[in-house]
Amino acid sequence: MAKAKYDESKDETIAIMGLQANATTQFEARVMKYDGGDKKLQIRRMFLDTNATWQYSYKLGRYTKEEMKAVLRLMMALAPHFDIHDKNFDNEFEVGGVKFGENDTNNAEAEE
């Protein structure tokens, strides 16, 4: 069965958020829905080029700690759009011994 061609008019944007990870990298996250289907999360990475213009990257690539924290924060902020309301998820979670959430010191704004 042949796959139908993409139709932009069937693409619905439910939410958009952006977060700057550092001086030269920022991320844009969107919750999207296509033709009445399931909601999906799209994450795009942007970088500051030599002309001081933000450009989209072709791929997400490797993350620094600050970039990873920015993406996790975007995902946490958009989780309610996917009916993820678990108290521990919304406020705090731990990955590899590093705690993230309201009461931690690992927030995206913190300096090391």
d(CA 39, CA 85): 16
| Region 34-39 average pLDDT | 95
For 70-89, the pLDDT digits (tens) are 999 999 899 999 887 655 55
Sequence-ordered alpha helix ranges (H) in 1-101 = 65-78, 87-91
d(CA 3, CA 1): 6
pLDDT at 101 over 70: no
d(CA 61, CA 39): 24
